[in-house]
Chains A and B, each alone.
Chain A
């Protein structure tokens, strides 16, 4: 870090910092892999077998409903009603997905509308949350100022009760702001999701102070430090926040907040289709698959990063 004592934030000094970060993370990574090396002591074969069976049994319980829905969505109507039910289809067909898009004729609103609504809510809600939560997490983790301790404490307490507790007053507040029957009624409260702030703060706690000092010496103000140094470092954390918010928002059905059919999200449509009875079983499976694919897809690609973040999730 010797060169980084220049007085201005030139591109080269930013590059220096990046270099240092990279070095730092490579080193910690190396340490980690060394630590993970399998040490198998105090183990009995008998225990291994029992525990493995137990694991497989629960794995089946966990996967079966999802797997069944996925295969159901690929079955023709005749095969869905085969008695007894089969897990795997003989003839794979995409009719259910086609039907889904043909439901346009039966309802006034095409399924794509619901899809766009869910997408809008999820994207805006997630983006806003990640930005606001990281922006707030940085001073809460790394800087000292009056009120910091109180806020950190409040955030931890807020993890200890669910949204149901605040549902009624939140509804009133949202209606005072005139946000009822708009998607903002779901998007804006999502910005303040405290689990995200908590995880982000915990993750930022481990950023080495020297890195922030270096950036300060380079003449960066706090916002520049945040966007140029901190944010690139906490990428695993924002991916985690994205996944968590996805999980929250992707499944929202608009609840009490959205009345206009045009604005309702996909989950609502799914509920209606499932309620449509046996004849819709195939299409219901198809909608569920669409609902599933996105969050699970996001998780598949980011599992390692999410685990990186969760390693710092501990409550003291």
Chain B
């Protein structure tokens, strides 16, 4: 009765319902995926939001404490501010650079003969596909004289004693940036290559006749506008990755890293929210997760707006 009162046009309701019944086979097809998607993505996001207003240690039921978690994060938690700063620095550097890299390399590779193109795509894409193989950077930045970087630098007489790459706070962010960039030619890179292949080449001839002088003009006026949708997809991938740096930091710099030099929002979240942690505070961790969520979604929506303007 209440629903009827709320809904002034019952006929439309009925028709939606019959439409749904008529299409029930489609619901049965999407059901398995949606069930898992809702359980492990939609509900967690909502739960995270709700729990962020509570104090919750998984043993006792959550207790509502209002905005305390957020206030504590920004006013009383110095480590969070370090994590936020590091995350933003890493994202602002690796995000745009990795995005440009993915595009520029895709664009350069696209002009090469197919065999060479195939090989270069493989080489560039290999790091991001190889799972936890980034651990091999541990060997490169290893702190003794057998570490590849130390050995090379010593051999060239640039340094005399091994540098403690992974243990010195001042190198932490640089190392993370290098490794992250090494890992960053992922799905978006492939999307760009594929997008470039579908660009209509006859337009280039037309462009040349119309007075396009060099490859840069060609890129801006012809190529980019044609692959706007891939550019947007790539941006989503790169932004999400750039703001989500965490596992690489834990694996290379330790957890927690020396003086929190490689601490990011993700590692801070794990500090409070992982069951291995001594300070299990799910409410607090949820507040961190919610901030990360807002940051990622906000950055993505903003950049989407910007990219829509490309070529105009």
Whether a CB of chain A sits under 8 angstroms from the CB of B136 is yes
Closest residue to B274 on the A side, CB-wise?
A: A256
Collect the chain A residues with CB atoms within 8 Å of residue B194's CB: 307-313
The answer to the question of B191 belonging to the interface, with a C-beta cut-off of 8 Å to chain A, is yes
Residues of chain A with a CB closer than 8 A to B93's CB: none
A244 touches B43 (CB 8 A): no
Contacts A42-B215, A135-B30; is A169 near B44 (CB within 8 Å)?
A: yes
- B120 shortest CB reach to chain A, Å: 6
If A35-B200, A197-B33 touch, does A165 touch B296 (CB 8 Å cutoff)?
yes
Any A CB within 8 A of the CB of B59:
no
Interface centre among A189, A192, A312 (most CB of B within 10 A): A192
Q: Does B65 contact A (CB under 8 A)?
A: no
Interface string of B235-264 (1 = CB under 8 A from A): 011011101101000010000000000000
Asked if A85 and B151 sit within 8 Å, CB to CB, the answer is: yes
In the assembled complex, how far is the CB of residue A315 from the closest CB belonging to chain B, in whole angstroms? 4
Assess the B240–A161 pair: CB atoms within 8 A.
yes
Query: Is A291's CB under 8 angstroms from B215's CB?
Result: no
Give the shortest distance, in Å, between B257 (CB) and chain A (any CB).
16
Let me know if B197 and A314 touch, CB within 8 A: no
Given A136-B29, A291-B130, A310-B191, do A65 and B140 touch, yes or no (CB 8 Å)? Answer: yes
Chain B interface residue count, CB cutoff 8 Å, equals: 116
Contact A83 B232 (CB under 8 A): no
Partner of A162, one of B34, B108, B202, B243: B243
On whether the beta carbons of B136 and A69 are closer than 8 Å, the reply is: yes
Partner of A83 from the list B37, B109, B155, B215 (CB cut-off 8 Å) is B155
Q: Is A267 an interface residue (CB 8 A)?
A: yes
Q: Interface readout for A281-294 with B: 1 if CB under 8 Å, 0 if not?
A: 10011001001100
Q: Is the CB of B20 within 8 A of A146?
A: yes
| Bound Cα distance A242, B145 (Å) | 41
Known: A85-B148, A159-B237, A313-B233. A146 touches B16 (CB 8 A): yes
- Complex Cα gap A247–B133 (Å): 11
Given contacts A44-B214, A291-B132, A295-B131, contact A311 B198 (CB under 8 A): yes
Contact for A168 among B126, B193, B202, B285, CB less than 8 A: B285
Q: Do A247 and B201 touch across chains, with their CB atoms under 8 A apart?
A: no
Within 8 A of B (CB), among A233-261: 243-244, 246-247, 250-251, 253, 256
Which residues on the B side are within 8 Å of A220 (C-beta)? none
Asked, given contacts A162-B240, A243-B129, A278-B146, whether A306 binds B33 with beta carbons under 8 Å apart, the answer is no
Q: Is A92 at the interface (CB under 8 A from chain B)?
A: no
Give bound CA distance, A63 to B123, whole Å. 6
With A42-B215, A303-B122, A314-B232 known as contacts, the answer to whether A136 contacts B145 (CB < 8 A) is no
Distance in angstroms between the alpha carbons of A135 and B19 in the assembled complex: 20
**Residues from chain A with Cβ under 8 Å of B285 in the complex:** 168
Identity of the chain A residue whose Cβ is nearest the Cβ of B189 in the assembled complex: A310
**Does any Cβ of B come within 8 Å of A151's Cβ?**
yes
Residues from chain A with a CB closer than 8 A to the CB of B136 are 65-66, 68-69, 284-285, 288
Let me know if A55 and B108 touch, CB within 8 A. Answer: yes
| In the bound complex, CA of A211 to CA of B215 (Å) | 41
Does A316 make an interface contact (CB < 8 A)?
Answer: yes
> Which residues of B sit under 8 angstroms from A39, Cβ to Cβ?
201, 204-205
* A41-B204 CB under 8 A given contacts A54-B108, A161-B297, A162-B243: yes
Question: Residues 72-92 of chain A: 1 if any B CB is under 8 Å from the residue's CB, otherwise 0?
Answer: 100000001101110000000
Interface string of B134-167 (1 = CB under 8 A from A): 0111111010111010011011000000000000
Are B36 and A303 interface neighbours, CB within 8 A?
Answer: no
Say whether B190 contacts A168, CB under 8 Å: no
A247–B273 CB distance below 8 A? no
Contact call A192/B187, Cβ cutoff below 8 A:
no
Stretch at the interface among B73-81, B168-176, B286-294: B286-294
Residue A296 is within 8 A (CB to CB) of chain B in the complex: yes
B266:A164 contact, CB within 8 angstroms: yes
Q: Does A95 contact B (CB under 8 A)?
A: no
Given A35-B200, A146-B19, A222 contacting B25 (CB threshold 8 A):
yes
Q: Complex: how many Å from CA A43 to CA B207?
A: 13
Residue of A nearest to B124 (CB): A62
State whether A165 touches B292 (Cβ < 8 A): yes
Give the contact stretch, choosing among A17-25, A105-113, A170-178: A170-178
What is the bound-complex CA distance between A158 and B36, given in angstroms?
13
A59 within 8 A of B: yes
With a 10 A CB-CB cut-off, give which of A61, A164, A197 has the most chain B CB atoms.
A164
Residue numbers in A under 8 Å from B177 (CB-CB): none
Q: A267–B133 Cα gap in the complex (Å)? A: 9
Q: A244 vs B266: C-alpha distance in the bound complex, in angstroms?
A: 22
Q: Which of A42, A47, A308 contacts B217 (CB 8 A)?
A: A42
A137-163 Cβ-contact flags toward B at 8 Å (1 or 0): 011100111110001001101111111
The answer on a CB contact under 8 Å between A311 and B45 is: no
User: Is B120 within 8 A of A160, CB to CB?
Assistant: no
Q: Do B29 and A164 have beta carbons less than 8 Å apart?
A: no
27 pairs across A/B with beta carbons < 8 Å?
A41-B205, A54-B108, A55-B120, A58-B124, A62-B182, A65-B127, A83-B146, A139-B29, A160-B301, A161-B293, A164-B289, A166-B45, A173-B40, A192-B40, A223-B25, A247-B128, A247-B131, A271-B251, A285-B139, A291-B130, A291-B133, A296-B130, A304-B118, A308-B194, A311-B198, A314-B229, A315-B233
Beyond A55-B105, A160-B240, A314-B227, 9 extra complex contacts between A and B, CB < 8 Å: A65-B140, A66-B133, A132-B36, A146-B20, A162-B296, A188-B40, A194-B41, A256-B275, A300-B122
* Nearest 3 Cβ contacts at the A-B interface: A314-B229, A251-B131, A169-B44
